[in-house]
Amino acid sequence: LLALFLLTINWGVLRKSLSLEKAREMIEELEKIPSYMDELLDNQKSIYECADQYHQAQNFLFLGRSFNYPTALEGALKLKEISYIHAEGYAAGEMKHGPLALVDERMPVVCIAPRDSVYKKMVSNIQEVKARKGKVIAVATQ
Mean pLDDT by 10 residues, the chain (142 residues): 92 96 95 91 92 95 94 97 96 88 94 91 95 94 78
Assess contact for 77 and 89: CB atoms under 8 A.
yes
Confidence (pLDDT) at 142: 73
The reply to whether 13 falls in a domain is yes
Confidence (pLDDT) at 67: 87
Confidence (pLDDT) at 99: 86
Same structural domain, 35 and 59:
no
CA angle 105, 122, 119 (to 5 degrees): 145
Strands 86-91 and 135-140, bridge-based pairing? unpaired
Specify the pTM. Answer: 0.81
Number of domains present in the structure of the chain: 2
Q: Which among 104, 123, 122 has a CA at the least distance from the CA of 57?
A: 104
The reply to whether 65 falls in a domain is yes
**Full residue range of the structural domain in which residue 29 is found:** 2-40
Confidence (pLDDT) at 113: 93
CA 9 – CA 115 distance, rounded (Å): 20
The reply to whether 50 falls in a domain is no
